[in-house]
A and B are shown apart, each in its own frame.
Chain A
Amino acid sequence: MSSPTDTPPREQPHMNPYWAGFGLGLVLLASFVIMGRGLGASGAFTTAVATTVHAVAPAHAEGNSFYAEYLGDGTASPLKDWLVFEVLGVFVGGFLSGALANRLKFTIEKGPRITNPRRLVLAAIGGALMGVGAKLALGCTSGQALTGGALLNVGSWAFMMCVFGGAYGLAWFLRRAWL
């Protein structure tokens, strides 16, 4: 994908995990102190999906209790939502960090033993499962595991154990995708 003609700038190594975690923890703490809420990710996409469906088929969206919950009361655009703006920030922050470390690259992350098309099919399937799982669990790794973990939320801890359980349980069958 990337065919640099000049000598490419060197990709910097990733941050020490403990310090990256510490930084992430401070961001989460700042969110508690400033907003009284934690971080999130999947909710923003749900709002975006609900808004799009509402724009295409208003009656259908309003008749569906799931969409309706994300559309609000119609007094303001549902996209004027905390999580939507936070996730926009995540894209920007990720891009900035990647740019500063010379890690911006059009590429596909995968193990050496899997073809690109297969990897992309798996990515799509994984994403779809994630969408379903996050809605069942009322949150994803950001909203549940990180935020709820730090608040000692009962459901979040149960959820977190199950995420690790599910991933470890299936890891052996997917080793060709990653190793």
Chain B
Amino acid sequence: MNAPFFKYGLFGDEMSLVVAFGIGIAFGFFLERAGFGNARKLAAQFYFRDLRVLKVMFTAIITAMVGSFLLARFGFLDLSLVYLTPTFLGPQIVGGLILGVGFIIGGYCPGTSCVSAATGRIDGMVYLAGMIGGLLGFAEVYPRIEHLVKLTPLGQVTLAEQFNLPYGLLVFAVVLMAFGAFVAAEWAEGRIGGKAPDADSLLTPARKFGPARKFAAVLIALGLVAAFSGSPYRTALAQVDTRQLALEAGTKADHVMPAELADWIIEGRNDYLLVDVREPAEFAAYHIPGAINVPLAELKQDFARRNERIVFYSDGGIHAAQAWFLIRALGFPSVYMLFGGLEEWHDTVLNPAAPPADAPAKDQVDFARRVAVAGYFGGSPRRAEGPALAAPAPAAALPKLAPPPPAAPPVTKPATPAKKKKKEGC
């Protein structure tokens, strides 16, 4: 089994919306259970009356952190495929402060206000209305402050990478820190907030090994396992075996067929990065929708996230193959190239050849589908009976497509890479 399931193609976009709804129900359920539909309960955090926000948040964080680490370490989950919001340090610090101020003034954060409104809290509903107003205001000034929002970019980076520490050790440290904070929180609630301790907590009952303490013991033990179990990433530090690579290069496993890629684009799949390794001028003249341009000479260690599925293409196959080998050798685990390059793309996707008139019906049906695909990408099928006769040479097809016909929907698609980044963030 390979997780994340969605990114391994176990289900499609439509199904993912059903999953989203289900996950949302569970999310909302536990938020409400925690008491987060109540602004007063939330605000009590900041007067040491009831440090629920801290306890719930950090318990959730360490549970998911330890769980994802161990699942990744033992091969079930590819952690590098779990989306990481890029860091823009300055804007996130300022945004965090504004959010904190908004929290204490309004009493909620966006997620908790949904739960609050759903359970009838009028302040939660008004808060939501205020948030929509804030979003509108932000959107209207955004074009003028766009450059500020993009300041101090650090990329998609974890604390482990940033400080060059072992991931597992950090996991353990965060678990210890969290339980330290919980004990301090329980103490502060009693001392400063004057709150009677919960029935089941870390400091009480005095001598009993209650459920909360058992839970703490289990998580700390799992954290300790994490601390000593190395990197959670697949092949992140693996030695490159050039012979193995060479053998792999000879197989078909590293190819993506043009028709397959066309389907991915039409389905709107977002689990791969399409890279055009030709020169910028050629890229500008024509490129496959959604592709980014990284000329062969500029490919290096950090050109993309290590865990991203990367598909290279060039005019023919040679430059893409060179890129494939280079990037594989740098330790990127899932790298592919477009079979036959742009030439094959033109011949099979943009200008598919009609089968002979006496071909079986299955071929005719298949061709009809390919015509539709070609239409989507702004191409047109070759009409001649003998495909070889009327087939335009690939070189000739290139300039023809350079100014794509206005009716072609894919012309609007170069926005795809930006869109797929956005789609996963909050």
Q: How many A-B residue pairs have CB under 8 A?
A: 593
B106 touches A130 (CB 8 A): yes
Q: Could you tell me if B86 and A76 are in contact, using CB atoms closer than 8 angstroms? A: no
Q: Which of A94, A138, A160 sits near B114, CB closer than 8 Å?
A: A94
Contact of A91 among B46, B118, B182 (CB under 8 A): B118
| A87–B7 alpha-carbon span in the complex (Å) | 21
* Contact residue among A64, A70, A95, A122 (Cβ-Cβ distance under 8 Å from B106): A122
Q: Which of B18, B65, B103 contacts A166 (CB 8 A)?
A: B103
User: Do most interface residues of chain B lie in helix, strand or loop, or is the interface mixed?
Assistant: helix
A179 to B48, CA, bound (A): 11
A43 touches B92 (CB 8 A): no
A68 to chain B: closest residue by CB:
B415
B392 contacts A by Cβ under 8 Å: no
CB pair A33–B110 under 8 Å, yes or no, is no
Contacts of B33 in A (CB 8 A): 14-15, 20, 23, 97, 101
Q: Which DSSP category, helix, strand, loop or mixed, fits chain A's interface? A: helix
Residues of B within 8 A of A167 (CB): 45-46, 100-101, 103-104
Smallest CB gap from B109: residue in A: A141
Listed stretches B19-27, B273-281, B293-301, B334-342; interface member: B19-27
Alpha-carbon gap, A36 to B10, bound state (A) = 12
CB-based contact A111/B118 at 8 Å: no
Partner of A133, one of B7, B37, B98, B271: B98
The chain A residue with its CB closest to the CB of B49 is A179
Q: Are A69 and B422 in contact (CB under 8 A)?
A: yes
CB neighbours of A29 from chain B (8 A): 63-64, 67-68, 71
Selecting from B135-143, B311-319, B325-333, the interface stretch reads B135-143
Contacting residues, chain A, for B139 (C-beta < 8 A): 46, 49-50, 53, 64, 66-67
- Contact residues in B for A58 (Cβ distance below 8 Å): none
Q: A36-B83, A109-B107, A162-B97 are contacts. A154–B158 as well, Cβ < 8 Å?
A: yes
Answer whether residue B131 sits at the interface, using C-beta atoms and an 8 A cutoff. Answer: yes
Count of A interface residues, CB-CB < 8 Å: 134
Cβ of A139: which chain B residues have Cβ within 8 Å of it? 85, 425-426
B283 at the interface (CB under 8 A from A): no
Contact A131 B135 (CB under 8 A): yes
**Which stretch (B119-127, B235-243, B255-263) binds chain A?**
B119-127
A residues engaging B (CB < 8 A)? 1, 14-18, 20-43, 45-46, 48-50, 53, 64-70, 72-76, 80-98, 101, 103-111, 119-120, 122-171, 174-175, 177-179
Known: A14-B34, A64-B140, A96-B29. 14 other contacts (CB 8 A): A16-B198, A25-B60, A26-B63, A35-B4, A37-B4, A42-B135, A90-B118, A94-B32, A105-B119, A125-B106, A130-B99, A150-B68, A154-B162, A162-B92
